[in-house]
Amino acid sequence: MTFLWPHMLWLLALVPALIAAYVQILKRRRKTALKYASLSIVREALGKGPGWRRHVPPALMLAALTAMILSLARPAALMLLPSQRETVILAMDVSGSMRAADVVPDRITASQEAAKNFVSDQPRSTRIGIVAFAGSAQLVQQPTTNREEIYSAIERFRLQRGTNIGAGILASLQTIFPDAEFDFGPRFYNVRQGAPLGQARPPDEFVPVEPGSYNNAVIVLLTDGQATTGPDPIEVARMAADRGVRVFTVGFGSREGETVGFGGMSMRVQLDEETLRQVAEITRGRYFHAGSAADLNQVYESLTSQFDLERQEIEITALFAGIAALLTVVSAGLSMVWFGRIA
């Protein structure tokens, strides 16, 4: 549990002071009773009396005061709540290595089928966009709720040379924030307008937010290799983190690597799990590895369950205020029942 106004917790110093004052009052009453000359009167004054019951209403009132002070500090707690996410961007690798047959029937076909299953499992109100990346990145389907259009976009994938993971994330970010002006810097290029290195548009002015705090959209990125061109995926991940967008990364295929042919050439491709883990960690997402088509389907099922329920920080001030009010009422009620007055 955290507090939005933690400086108000200083008021808790009143609690031990009130306890000390209560003890002092009890001592004073005892001394007053001992001043009576008659022993019978002393015994009457110090007799059984209400016993432990006399301490219950003050204790409840003290607990009520503590709860009220905590409510003033605006407590918040992480809770599992239904996701309000409106958009999911699937960024999928369409590099030549995706023709590798270590996954039956091959990586690209298996990834397409798993992606379509993932799409069908999402709520009908969720908009899904598709980004394909190889040597460059392209938005092949604007976010939409029309499942047939999404399936068609996935089926139209064509393999290309190169693996530009950074551009895949950038294109996804630009889709989520179409009016944003990203600061690509000298190592980046504008994926939307194709500006050459060092000629990107000036950045838009915005204040970075807490990583993972943007709840309206998420990026799911799948690749089977490592970046061979384009911007550093780690730097791009920091841009996503600054806007609160989580990136879930999926490494597909064998960890040992695979030799595949493309365009009359042979190439050795190997999964860069460390980079994918860093991208997920920086953005508060999660990394998954899928070595087979069945594994990939399980990964997507796991992602679907995470999207349905997500951890959100919720202010629970009203809960503490309600507890304080309830304890106050109980304290006053017991005092009236036991002593005929509010002590």
Quote the pLDDT of residue 21: 85
Quote the pLDDT of residue 22: 80
Quote the pLDDT of residue 222: 97
Quote the pLDDT of residue 309: 52
Q: Report the C-alpha gap between 320 and 316 in whole angstroms.
A: 7
* Rg (the chain; Cα; Å): 32
Quote the pLDDT of residue 209: 92
* Length of the chain measured in residues: 343
Quote the pLDDT of residue 215: 84
Quote the pLDDT of residue 83: 54
Domains of the chain: 16-78+316-339 (no CATH), 81-314 (3.40.50.410)
Quote the pLDDT of residue 295: 93
pTM greater than 0.85 (yes/no): no
Q: Report the C-alpha gap between 234 and 222 in whole angstroms.
A: 15
pLDDT < 70: residue spans in the chain: 31-51, 78-85, 183-205, 257-269, 305, 307-313, 341-343
DSSP string covering 159-182: -BS---HHHHHHHHHHHHSTT---
Q: How many CA atoms lie within 13 A of 102 on its CB side?
A: 18
DSSP string covering 180-222: ------TT---TTT-PPTT-PPPPPP-----TT---SEEEEEE
Quote the pLDDT of residue 19: 86
Q: Is 132:94 a contact under the CB 8 Å cutoff?
A: yes
Q: Report the C-alpha gap between 250 and 248 in whole angstroms.
A: 7
Quote the pLDDT of residue 101: 84
Q: Report the C-alpha gap between 326 and 204 in whole angstroms.
A: 50
**Residues 242, 210, 222, 157: is their CA dihedral positive or negative?**
negative
Q: Is 320:67 a contact under the CB 8 Å cutoff?
A: yes
Quote the pLDDT of residue 245: 95
